[in-house]
Amino acid sequence: MGSDREIDVFPPALIDALVDSRHIVVMTGSGTSAESGIPTFRDAQTGLWAKYRPEDLATPEAFARNPQLVSDWYEWRRQLVSKTDPNPGHTAIAALTKLVKQLTLITQNVDGLHQRAGNDDVIEFHGNIMLSRCTDGHPATGIQGDTESPPRCEQCGAMIRPAVVWFGESIPAAVLQRALAAVETCDVFFAIGTSAQVQPAAGLALLAKQNGATLIEINPAETPLTDDCDYILKGPSGAILPKLVSALKQTSDHA
Ligand SMILES: [Zn+2]
């Protein structure tokens, strides 16, 4: 690949922006998970599930109509996720977090791979597929027995659902507020592996830019955001981020 050589040498001004940064926001999307072998939403449907469209399963209406079907689908997806591991891109973000003054990580992914890579505090825009919650509002609740699908809340007997944001649902206000607060104070914003087509996630990058932040995109493909970026690092995050972190380390060591 002709572009491999360019990736090794980052623009000095980019490294300076990272060294001088007071607050970096990193937003990751499905590309980051795909590099761990987690298929993107649309490619995920195989075997028994191939006949269903994800859009017809990941909705409150689908759960109301057929809770067992939706519950079983999520269990299947959890098993897919549990067989994967964080990739070098996830690990590099965890390393970057320790290297800079402040870093806020926002992800559109629901697989918890950032936490497994060492980022304890992640703003999960769309929830976490490994977590569940009571449909009647009990946030952290036990599950009655362990064989029923869907499981039932230990406290009230209501159905337990995955703690994710479904189509037609809003991002929880507290999550959105935390993300906005971070974006408003950041001076560097990374958009990594996100197609930048889902709102309001895509809008965060432009908001950061409006507030004067340096906008950096890491993606193998162009996105609607590409033209607005100050730096475009074309390629998979697992290839680019470890090199960027090591370039930053070398600069910091010599400072
Ligand atoms: Zn309950």
List the end-to-end C-alpha distance of the chain, in Å, as a whole number: 33
Per-residue pLDDT tens digits for 81-97: 999 999 999 999 999 99
Amino acid identity at 249: K
pLDDT reading at 232 higher than 60: yes
- Across the range 206-226, mean pLDDT stands at 95
Residue 194 in this model has a pLDDT that exceeds 80 = yes
What is the 159 CA–ligand 1 centroid distance (Å)?
Answer: 8
CA of 63 relative to ligand 1 center, distance in Å:
16
pLDDT for position 251: 87
CA distance 135 to 157: 10
**pLDDT given at position 198:** 72
Indicate the pairing of strand 24-28 with strand 188-192: parallel
CA of 131 to the centre of ligand 1 (A): 14
Catalytic residue among 23, 126, 138, 254: 126
Q: Residue written as tokens 């505090």?
A: 121
pTM of the model: 0.91
Residue 138 annotated among the catalytic residues of the structure: no
Mean pLDDT of 197-204: 79
| pLDDT band at residue 236 using 50, 70 and 90 as cut-offs | very high
Q: What is the 3-state secondary structure (H, E, C) of 200-238?
A: CHHHHHHHHHHCCCEEEEEECCCCCCHHHCCEEEECCHH
Q: What is the mean pLDDT of residues 225-233?
A: 95
Q: What is the 3-state secondary structure (H, E, C) of 39-57?
A: CCHHHCCCHHHCCCCHHHH
pLDDT at 154: 86
What are the helix (H) ranges across 168-212?
Answer: 173-185, 201-210
∠ CA 119-13-197, nearest 5°, is 55
DSSP 9: S
Boundaries of every domain in the chain: 1-37+86-126+171-255, 39-83+128-164
Q: Could you give the CA distance from residue 65 to residue 88 in angstroms, rounded to a whole number?
A: 40
What is the chain's alpha carbon radius of gyration, rounded to the nearest angstrom? 19
The CATH number for 1-37+86-126+171-255, chosen from 3.40.50.1220, 1.10.10.60, 3.40.1190.20, 3.90.1150.10, is 3.40.50.1220
Average pLDDT over residues 58-73: 93
Cβ-in-10-Å burial (0-12, 13-18, 19+) of 198 comes to middle
pLDDT of residue 9: 84
Q: Report how far ligand 1's centroid is from the alpha carbon of 96 (Å).
A: 39
> pLDDT per residue over 35-63, tens digit each?
998 876 666 667 777 888 887 899 999 99
**Which CATH superfamily does the domain covering 39-83+128-164 fall into?**
SIR2/SIRT2 'Small Domain' (3.30.1600.10)
Q: How far, rounded to the nearest angstrom, does the alpha carbon of residue 12 sit from its chain's CA centroid?
A: 28
Are 243 and 221 a contacting pair, CB within 8 Å?
no
Contact yes or no for 125/106 (Cβ under 8 A): yes
